[in-house]
Chain A
């Protein structure tokens, strides 16, 4: 039975599910009714009063976020009565607001600014002294509170009650003295605290790590996928000057709804700190010196050619893309005739029932779909290292961003080639080190733990000349066999879709912005 109702909004008819609010119904018509307190991921508070609309036969203006659409309802989201109401609310909101937009991090993505632009007035009639409040108050390790900018919409309070269930925040005092704060003895220190900053519609909550770093309009937001765990949260990489300044969640109801965890949010930080490997380097006669790429690849191809199939291995973590892993597998089976590809397991903590997964590999499911089993307990990895120490392994190809449980290569008699973005870690003892793009610098496909193929995007240019793992494999295959080089990671994905049944139909296009479920 259809539970649909019909109503008219701004002269346009629309049919919606029973129980839909007027604000949601207007939204599905593409009408952007202003809102501060309303957030689709939180319970309805109805306190900011900016979403007032005029509903026929109702004596007063009604908040559209609380009004349930009814059959035959006639709604106006515009007109003098509505505009008067909104203008009054805007004036109230700005009366005590410090209007410190020039130094406010929210400037540029502030709903007070946006709605002032749309519904406000140039001046203020408020002539009393503004109510003062707390400034630059750290309420947790990542979040700074400015109560003067706060409009007490309680989005952050509801987030901590309803999403994380931690309830650190509350409203204290009352009336115009109301302020958001942490309960005595508490800190806003839950694994999702940064989301309160995202959902804060004004500049009251800012992120310690981002505040005063960059004007938001200078950022280019590149849609991508977080690599911090197997969830694969959809994110925007806020980039400028060829670096990531912040990571914010990108709504995807199939994966992360509106949220990301703080670990993922701050996962760009090591990228700025860790030393990068910017050119290939080879160890010859105990001395490390830079080599050009063609020379490095020739050297590697030559060494691998000499290997016995049973004595060559790859360590290929599931932080690599489907494209990388696919080419590693092809190279090993077609050229080296080896199946010894170890995908290390990366577990930490527990699934938290919200977003965070214990499996810290963003592409473990992708590896499995390619027929690469994740090395449970990392026993195969340990066995390989034992053999290497005993001198029974000819060569090991290590593709890592340095966060794989990796046994020290020192004392290993095998030839070790490390393909990595970073100059720390295993590079020190490698025979050959090849620079790879770091997170944010490569493009490819990851499959999350629920089998959703998603596109991790290139937002930055790597320093020096870095080659993705799959390109390195292609180059090696060209040198040791034959393979037609792929122009892009997308082309390679098309090949994978054609050849691997688990990826049938998975293309850059079908993945789109929100990913696509792999065939079960």
Chain B
């Protein structure tokens, strides 16, 4: 168990010619694919399982285990769907990978598809990622021309094709089953589960859906072995990980570190600390806007891994780390987060459709100085009416952070209500 001492996923991102297949192959791309095609498929799955790789999209589900859910004896075609609909506020890592090193991504997708016996890869890419889309599209054509994609890949007898599909601008289409509906040309509504994608996915066929960064780890696991991967980070929280650092930080950006890097190292050493050193750290959203907000004191000794953050009431999520200094009004920050969810709720389930809008408007009213006694109690109760009562976890993703803002910065909310304005705006804070 230890720190990451080198760049792995990001090692070639700084080469301007890396999106070009010749340059990428010159730096080792597709070498692991060629090796994988000579391996037993189940041996690859086993390596991924042993590596401890957990999904980088937000839920942190063990990747190898997910692959084993694919039915072995189904006569139906099997699909790998790559979730490249990166939309979680504060998250911008997958975008970097596809824009800067599309062949590393494709190699990961192809090896994974081979391991799970898929015959087709769908890459669902966020519609706003125009550069990423064009880069990937070109990379796919190049890979096809070189025989990495298509019939009889590298003479192995394995056929694979890749379809790149652009989304149309809905956050919910990053939810795996809404993504599949959207991919099928339907309205992006999350599906009822069960059945789960492994048995009933895209077009009703067995489907595994993984995040881009997750699959990018796979070639490295093959190259260096599962033990190497499992040796990075902490127990059950292994491997290199991309952290998206943003907000009031001196050097915002994507940082690659081991899973479980202490927040203060990520923020202080890699990010260079606060943008304005005269300010104080006030709060951190550690895993995209769906994660509960953490106070500065909660961040003191905080390993940024799946299990620790979960145990402390938040989550690593997509590792979108948003830093706020003491110039931030937490009511306003909360309002802004909730505005996003009110806008993005797909509207399928009653509690989320109405609740996401309701809690946003309540917080907006408080922020604008129209708050009343009892608002906070109603707000928390409305959140409770949303949590755990819907088809997908979107409602929880809106309600849990809302509750965390109120719980951890209740005084600020109360000040807004009693002063009938924002204390910061009024100059009283």
Q: Which residues of A contact B (CB under 8 A)?
A: 44, 46-50, 52, 59-61, 66, 85, 88-89, 91-93, 95-96, 125-129, 131, 151-152, 170-171, 173-178
- The answer to whether A47 touches B358 (Cβ under 8 A) is no
CB distance A175 to B351 under 8 Å?
A: no
A49–B390 touching, CB < 8 Å: yes
- State A387–B355 Cα separation when bound (angstroms): 77
- In the complex the two chains form, what is the Cα distance from A44 to B348 in whole Å? 13
Of A47, A59, A88, the contact of B385 (CB 8 Å cutoff): A88
Let me know if B345 and A175 touch, CB within 8 A: yes
Is B344 interfacial (CB 8 A cutoff)? yes
B346 interface residue per 8 A CB criterion? yes
Indicate if the CB atoms of B192 and A128 lie closer than 8 Å: no
- Smallest CB–CB gap between A166 and chain B, Å? 17
Interface of B, helix, strand, loop or mixed by DSSP: helix
Contact pick for B389, options A59, A60, A66, A171, CB 8 Å: A60
In the complex, the answer to whether A48 meets B343 with C-beta atoms within 8 Å is: no
Contacts of A85 in B (CB 8 A): 385, 389
Q: How large is the interface on B (under 10, 10 to 19, 20 to 34, 35 or more residues)?
A: 20 to 34
- Please state if B357 and A131 are interface contacts (CB–CB under 8 Å): yes
Given contacts A49-B390, A88-B385, A128-B365, contact A178 B353 (CB under 8 A): yes
B313 within 8 A of A: no
* Residues of chain A within 8 A of B170, CB atoms compared: 174
Given A88-B351, A92-B354: A176 touches B389 (CB 8 Å cut-off): no
Mask: chain B, 81-124; 1 = CB below 8 Å from A; 0 = not: 00000000000000000000000000000000000000000000
A-B pairs, 9 with minimum CB distance: A88-B385, A178-B347, A176-B357, A175-B345, A92-B354, A60-B388, A128-B361, A174-B347, A175-B347
In the bound assembly, the distance between CA atoms of A175 and B347 in angstroms comes to 4
Neighbour of B353 across the interface among A61, A127, A176, CB < 8 A: A176
A91 to B361, CA, bound (A): 16
Whether B149 is near chain A, meaning CB under 8 Å from some CB there, is no
- Bound-state CA distance A404–B394 (Å) is 61
From A92, which residue of chain B is reached at the shortest CB distance? B354
Q: Which of A47, A95, A96, A131 sits near B349, CB closer than 8 Å?
A: A47
**A49 near B357 (CB under 8 angstroms)?**
no
Q: What are the interface flags for B333-374 relative to A under an 8 Å C-beta threshold, 1 for contact and 0 otherwise?
A: 000000000111111111101111110011001000000100
B residues neighboring A (CB under 8 Å): 170, 172, 187, 192, 342-351, 353-358, 361-362, 365, 372, 378, 381-382, 384-386, 388-391
Q: Establish whether residues A48 and B346, one from each chain, have CB atoms under 8 Å apart when the complex forms.
A: no
Query: A52-B389, A95-B358, A128-B362 known; 17 other A-B pairs, CB under 8 Å?
Result: A49-B350, A59-B388, A89-B385, A92-B353, A92-B354, A96-B354, A125-B381, A126-B358, A127-B362, A128-B358, A171-B347, A174-B344, A174-B345, A175-B342, A176-B342, A176-B347, A176-B357
| Least distance between A212 CB and chain B CB atoms (Å) | 28
Asked whether, in the complex, the Cβ of B355 is within 8 Å of the Cβ of A92, the reply is yes
Bound-complex Cα distance A269 to B361 (A): 48
A92 to B357: give the CA distance in the assembly, Å: 10
Chain A contacts for B378, CB-based, 8 A = 125
- Chain A residues contacting B386 (CB-CB under 8 Å) are 88
User: Please, how many angstroms separate the alpha-carbon atoms of A337 and B343 in the complex?
Assistant: 81
Contact A151 B389 (CB under 8 A): no
Q: Are A91 and B347 in contact (CB under 8 A)?
A: no
List residues of chain B with CB within 8 A of the CB of A173.
347
Question: B348 contacts which chain A residues (CB < 8 A)?
Answer: 47, 152
Report 20 cross-chain contacts, Cβ distance below 8 Å, ordered by A residue: A44-B192, A47-B348, A48-B349, A88-B385, A88-B386, A91-B385, A92-B350, A92-B358, A93-B354, A95-B358, A125-B378, A125-B381, A126-B358, A128-B365, A174-B170, A174-B172, A174-B344, A176-B342, A176-B354, A178-B347
Question: Per a CB cutoff under 8 Å, which of B346, B354, B391 touches A174?
Answer: B346
A175 to B351 Cα, complex, angstroms: 10
Return chain B residues, CB-CB under 8 Å to A170.
187
Chain A residue contacts of B356, Cβ below 8 A = 175-176
* Residues of A with C-beta under 8 A to B384: 88
A168 vs B384: C-alpha distance in the bound complex, in angstroms? 36
Given A92-B385, A178-B347, A66 and B192 contact (CB-CB distance below 8 Å): yes
Chain B residues near A96 (CB-CB < 8 A): 354
Contacts of B389 in A (CB 8 A): 49, 52, 60-61, 85, 88-89
Q: Are A89 and B350 in contact (CB under 8 A)?
A: yes
Candidate in B192, B347, B365 with the most chain A CB atoms within 10 angstroms = B347
| Bound CA–CA A134/B275 (angstroms) | 48
The interface residues of chain B lying within 8 Å CB-to-CB of A178 are 346-347, 353
